[in-house]
Amino acid sequence: MATLIDGAASARRLRAEIADRASSLAAFGVVPGLAVVLVGDDPASAVYVRNKEKASREAGMRGETIRLAADTSQAELLALVDRLNADSGIHGILVQLPLPAHIDAGAVIHRISPAKDVDGFHPVNAGRVLIGDPTGFAPCTPAGVMHLLTEYGVTTRGAHAVVIGRSNIVGKPMAALLVQAGVDATVTVCHSRTTSLALHVRAADIVIAAVGQPNLVRAAMLKPGAVVIDVGMNRVADPDRESGYRLVGDVAFEEAREVASLITPVPGGVGPMTIAMLLRNTLIAAERTVA
């Protein structure tokens, strides 16, 4: 039976550390500021944004949420980003994705100053992460996964890690972080065009699933003793619940925990770490202004 990786507990510990470091900036007259921009009224995005604002305030930061109508033009959004870039009281800028279809998300991401891109999506930060430059902000979810691997003493040097998914938000930066000197994993990236997925997963010491397909990874695909990190967050119908659904990951959890050595649950695994790493990136951005 696998040991559970308690991401919620790890996130609480990290957020307490962040709060301590944030309070020390008061001597310099600095309060870390995070601006979150929400365009439209997507319910899931709205909940996530509220959680980010609450978490930033609990960490002693200034959390500001800017809500814009769904018909806000791209030019108006870019002008807002420019104002936030110029605001010395804002150290981190996050524009919540997805954006309405008429707005080019890439143009918005490119407009955010790399020094305030605490989501880690700007090409400058992506490049820095790829080459192992520690000044680059890594995307929060892959960074959170790395934190969990370290905290739970997972040996990455020489390990074979299989990343399922090649998104710019998780899959690609996850692979980049795992191959860096000092981490030293050998990485295989699988995706929707990969043939014989089970064959690749079976060879993995560490499996990181991030594709958004419920229960894609089955126990029979896993090497006994593998470390399993489930980034997936999927709603599946459940008539026994008042909501009518339940959340599951990309891994068939109950059967996989019988084979794995360590495994993240969904929810309560990687998810809480994403917001914690966002706060950490914002803190670092603020600390750099007084360094």
Mind telling me the catalytic residues? 52, 96, 119
Residue type, 204: A
Cis peptide before 173 (omega within 30 of 0): no
Query: How far is 39 from 255, CA to CA, in rounded Å?
Result: 40
Cis peptide before 265 (omega within 30 of 0): no
